[in-house]
Amino acid sequence: MKKKILITGGCGYIGSSLGNYFSDKYEVITLDKRKKNIFLNKKIKHYICNLLDQNKLKKILAKVKPDAVVHLAGQSTIDLVDKKKNEYYKNNVLATKILVKIIKKLEIPKFIFSSTAAIYDKSKGILKETSKIKSKNSYGLSKIKCEKILIKNFKLSKTSYCILRFFNVASSLREKKIGELHNPETHLIPILINALYYKKNIQIYGNNYDTKDGTCLRDYIHISDILTGIEKSIIFLDKNKSNIFNLGSGKCYSVLDVIRNCEKMIKKNANILSKNLRKHDAAILMCDISKSDKILKWKPIKSNLKKIIQDEIWWFKYLKKKKIIRKYIY
């Protein structure tokens, strides 16, 4: 009998990708406040539920009885960071608190929580799981609070957990015909591809960072590698106690690196507009993956910039062919 995996945020980018990736190996159940999207595998059972609806959520979890819950739901649009602090508390902290309480009571064996590199201090260098935790934006702060909720509530429970700190997740899963689903789209690479094809201006925030070309550096990880990392963490919890892992590529690319590579592949030049750097943006965010490599036996395979962009271009063309329109925030 296949193990049951319940995915919160199952209609989002990572949730839908994970659902399709897992659909041949596990019995997948997705949960989201939105209806099932057109990209999810038809055999996936989907429940419409807001995580803040405690009674409905408890009934679903009690009925499904999953072997593991992968918690991907939440507010993550960085543009809203200082404008809608209450949204981050409600959709990230409070929702996680409710979910954890139910999971603990039902004694669900495994819990995977998607955290973020945004929790780390802005200081330079390669970030380890033991690096200083100090976020100044509402998104990062909400994830820090969520991590604390897990650690406190599951300490003496029958639930084991993995906290996975994602760096910059990007690209598409070609073999499952799924990719970035943000609407509006706020991620750099899909915005850049759209701008190049339709001759729109591309805005970059800050050109005077203390970096090689003045633009900030980020660690981009291919969606495929994130999915294998989640799977490895579920398997890890079969015989191991709770733990925290970084999931990134271990490599850094500047905004200009990304732009120049996209220009080269699409064979068009970008019209770049420089804006002031955003108050809470770090100059460099780079992942140390040595712990994930050693303990999870996980390494990123597809997370080189060329492959990430190639698969993102494929997804852009696939959506265009299907006449699916997305909004882009430039």
Catalytic residues: 139
What residues does 126 pair with on adjacent strands? 286
Residue reference for tokens 């543009």:
79
**DSSP code of 268?**
-
Q: What is the rounded distance in angstroms from the CA atom of residue 289 to the CA atom of residue 159? A: 25
Helices (H), the chain: 13-22, 54-64, 85-88, 95-106, 138-153, 188-197, 223-236, 255-266, 290-291, 305-321
**DSSP code of 39?**
T
**DSSP code of 176?**
G
- Strands 284-287 and 217-218: what pairing? parallel
Residue reference for tokens 């390494």:
299
Q: Yes or no: say if 311 and 177 are a contact pair by the CB < 8 Å rule.
A: no
Q: What is the rounded distance in angstroms from the CA atom of residue 145 to the CA atom of residue 239? A: 27
**DSSP code of 89?**
I
Taking alpha carbons only, the member of 206, 202, 209 closest to residue 188 is: 202
3-state secondary structure of 232: helix
Residue type, 56: K
- Strands 217-218 and 168-170: what pairing? unpaired
